[in-house]
Amino acid sequence: MPSPSRSVALVTLGCARNEVDSEELAGRLGAGGWTVTDGDDADVVVINTCGFIDSAKKDSIDTVLAAAESGKKVVAVGCLAERYGAELAASLPEADAVLGFDSYADIAARLDDLAAGRPVPAHTPRDRRTLLPVAPAHRPAAVAEVAVPGHAWLPSGMARKRLDDSPTAYLKLASGCDRRCSFCAIPSFRGSFVSRPQQDLLGEARWLAESGVRELVLVSENSTSYGKDLGDLRALESLLPDLAAVDGIERIRVSYLQPAELRPSLLAAIAGTPGVAPYFDLSFQHASAPVLRRMKRFGSTEAFLQLLGRVRELVPDAGARSNVIVGFPGESEADVAELERFLTGARLDVVGVFGYSDEDGTQAATYDGKLDAAEIAARVEQVSALAEELMSQRAEDRLGTRVEVLVESVVDGELVGRAVHQGPDTDGTTTLTAGSNAARGRIVPALVTATEGIDLIARPDGQPW
C-alpha cells in the first residue's frame, strides 16, 4: 500500500506569542515527517486559536468551521483549545481533534493517529498555574517537566521552522504571567511566569539572523518580569546589548512592558542601548485610579504621564503605544473623562481601544456595576474617535524628522517598512518615495514628508544604505 500523504497547513490567530508557538509546531511536525505547506493541498489544517476575549474566541471558532467546510481534517490547538479542551470538542464537532499545550511535544504523533483513524482524546483543561512552584526561584528545577510553548528551540533549529521570510521575527523571552489582573484569564491557561535562559535566546537569535531576520521583537506576557525566576531582576538589561551584538541583527524591539514594573535601569537600557529601539509598548489599560484598582492594577493619569515624561527626557522622539479597556464594571462617565484626559496628555503613537467583556473564571466577572453592551459600545466609539485624532496628530508631530525605516516589502517599486517607533502589525507603516531602490530587509534613513493617519511617507535622505 502506498504511504498516505502527510501534509499540514498551519493557521495562526491571536498574538505574537502564538506566531512563535506555530513555528515551534511547524518544526516539530517537520521533524516528525509531516510536510508543512500553506497551500490548499494540505491533508490536515492545524489552527492555532486565540482564547483571550469574546471576539477572538468567535474568530477562532469561525476559522475552524471554515476549514472544516473544505473537507480536510481540522485540529484545534492554542489558547482556546487549552482553555476549554473537551468542552470545546463537544460543542465543535467540526474539529477532528482538540489538543492542549501538553500535546505540542508529540504533535506529529497525534496527527499520525488522526490520519490513521485512531482516536485522539480531547485535551482536559487544568489551571496551569498549579503546575509550577509559587515561588519563582523554585521554578527552573521544575520547568523541564511542564510544557511551555515557544521555548523548545534547539541549536539545529529543528524545533522551530520559519513560516515566512520576513526580515522581522518574534523571539519569546518568557511565557506565563504571575499578575492577577481581575479581567484577565491568561495566567490560568498560560501558566506561571517562566523565563527562557539567556543562552537559548542568544542561540535562537543567531539562528534567526542566519535566516535573514534583521529585527527581533521580544515578546512575552510580561517582559518587565524577565529574569525574576532566574535570580536576576536585571537580566533583561544585560541581555539587550548581547542580542543587539548578534551579527546580522540591526534592531531589537521589546514588547509587553508593565508600567508598574518598568524600573529606571530597564527604561534607561531600552532608551540608550545601541541597536535597541527606543520603543515602549506599555500596558496601561486605563488611567482612572479607581478603575485601575478594581482591575487589580496600579497607576493613575499623573503616574503614567510622569513615566512617559521620563522616557521622553531620555529620547524625545521615542515610540510609545498602549491598549485601554473601556466599559469595565463600575466605570463612570468621570472615569471615561479621566481616561480621555490621560490620552490627550500622553501623545501616544498608537492606542488600541477595547470594550470590556466578562471572561470565565476571572474576578471581574463576579463584579457588580456591569454596563450594558450598548453603553460599552458607545464608550468604545467615543474613546476610539479621540484616540484616532490624537494618533494622527502624533504622526504629524514627526513631519520634518528623520527616521530609519526597515524595508519589509517592495511592490512595483514602492518600498514599505517601519520606522523605529512603529512595531509590526499594529503600529502603522512608512512608505519611501522619490526613487527609493533599497532591497527588502535594509534599513533606510529618510525624512518624513507627509502623513496618512498614523502612517508616514518619507523621502530617503541620501545617506548610504
How many CA within 13 A on the CB side of residue 260?
A: 14
Q: Measure the CA–CA gap between 191 and 178, rounded to whole angstroms.
A: 8
Q: Would the annotation count 15 as a binding residue?
A: yes
Q: Are 241 and 268 in contact (CB under 8 A)?
A: no
Answer yes or no: is 333 a known binding residue. no
For the record, the C-alpha cell of 435 comes out as 526613487
Q: Is 464 annotated as a binding residue?
A: no
Closest CA relative to residue 419, chosen from 385, 453, 393, 447: 447
Using DSSP bridges, classify how beta strands 319-326 and 215-219 pair: parallel, antiparallel or unpaired.
unpaired
Is 177 annotated as belonging to a binding site?
A: yes
Binding residues are 15, 50, 79, 177, 181, 184
Known binding site for [4Fe-4S] cluster: residues? Answer: 15, 50, 79, 177, 181, 184
